[in-house]
Homo-oligomer: A and B are copies of this chain.
Amino acid sequence: MAHHQHRHRRRDQKIQNLPQVIVLLPPGCFKFLESGYSHKFHFLKAWESQLPLDQFLSSHAGSVQAMLSSANGPLISAQILRMLPSLRLIVTTSAGLDHVDLLECRRRGIAIANARSVFSEDVADMAVGLLIDVLRKISVGDRYVRRGLWATNGDYPTLGTQLGGKRVGIVGLGSIGLEVAKRLEGFGCIISYNSRKQKTFTPYPFYSDVHELAANSDALVICCELNEQTQHMINKSVMLALGEKGVIVNVGRGAIIDEKEMVHCLIHRDIGGAGLDVFENEPHVPQELFTLDNVVLSPHAATNTLGSTMALYELVVANFDAFFSNKPLPSLVVNN
């Protein structure tokens, strides 16, 4: 018994000596990271603590230099950052940084590393999958069959829409948008795009105005990041320009679309349909969408594959390793 306690104490001391990484809420598949790397890092898990968050933060204020965050965790606000004065690094499991107060990080000299483009191909696959699903009614057909309606009511009554020849407007031609374009070319879609600046490396037609892009597209695929400029960029006017046969796919962030207006447009068929992996108030999805057959709803799953989860956690660990040994961060996005 005494021997046992001794062993426990030794193990605990060993953990105490590992570099600390604070985590407020576990990112998806945190178990992969924990089981693989608990011998290298001491994960301070706020959600497992008995303490309220502010006390938990205070108790580690003097020592913790590194944080792991994710898009589905809490906002890393100025208030939280003030309570961790020793913090020098945030590694986030997302590509987007909209859940971190970037100004405060810069002010405090906190570096940020992200998921880089680990997810780009998976997100593009999901975007194309959602577009095919909405146009060709795959999920709705699956429900029709599972409810036994094919045998009793005959063929599904509504025709789908061809992908070939459709004009697809990509909003945000970064690494995800480019992967979407590459895939859709194989389906005979005609690509154009909107982004902050025209890209020099691509011949796709550029629209500086997203409204104009919508007016000239049969479908919009939202792949841009969420920031002050893009919040509610897809507003009612853009949706009306897209028109009653137009389809929206969103694999960016929910708040890029004015969700309330989109729900209204979908119900009243001002737009044709939507394939949505992201929502304004996740995990809450507007219930009016649950009964619509012109939408496909996905639980922010565009990055959820085993392959990219493994690749992501390798990158996360590489960043922590580099930080704790004073080497350059592999996926640094905001310098300290």
Residue numbers of A with Cβ under 8 A of B are 28-29, 72, 121-122, 125-126, 128-130, 132-133, 136-139, 141-146, 148, 150-151, 154-156, 159-165, 182-188, 282-285, 287, 290, 296-301, 304-309
Q: Cα distance A164–B125 when bound, in Å?
A: 9
Chain B residues contacting A300 (CB-CB under 8 Å) are: 155
7 further A-B contacts with Cβ under 8 Å, apart from A128-B132, A155-B283, A156-B304, are A121-B163, A126-B138, A138-B296, A142-B296, A156-B301, A161-B306, A162-B306
B129 touches A133 (CB 8 A): yes
Chain B residues contacting A299 (CB-CB under 8 Å) are: 141, 144-145, 150, 155-156
The oligomer's copy count stands at 2
B142 touches A297 (CB 8 A): yes
Q: Cα distance A253–B63 when bound, in Å?
A: 65
Q: Which residue of B lies closest to A309 (CB)?
A: B159
B307 touches A146 (CB 8 A): no
A155 touches B297 (CB 8 A): no
A133 touches B138 (CB 8 A): yes
Chain B residues contacting A309 (CB-CB under 8 Å) are: 159
Q: Which residue of B lies closest to A122 (CB)?
A: B162
CB contact between A159 and one of B121, B154, B160, B306 (< 8 Å): that residue: B306
Q: Which residue of B lies closest to A32 (CB)?
A: B159
Q: Which residue of B lies closest to A146 (CB)?
A: B290
Q: Cα distance A308–B163 when bound, in Å?
A: 11
Which 7 residue pairs of A and B lie closest in terms of their CB atoms, listed nearest first? A129-B132, A162-B307, A186-B186, A145-B297, A150-B283, A183-B186, A150-B299
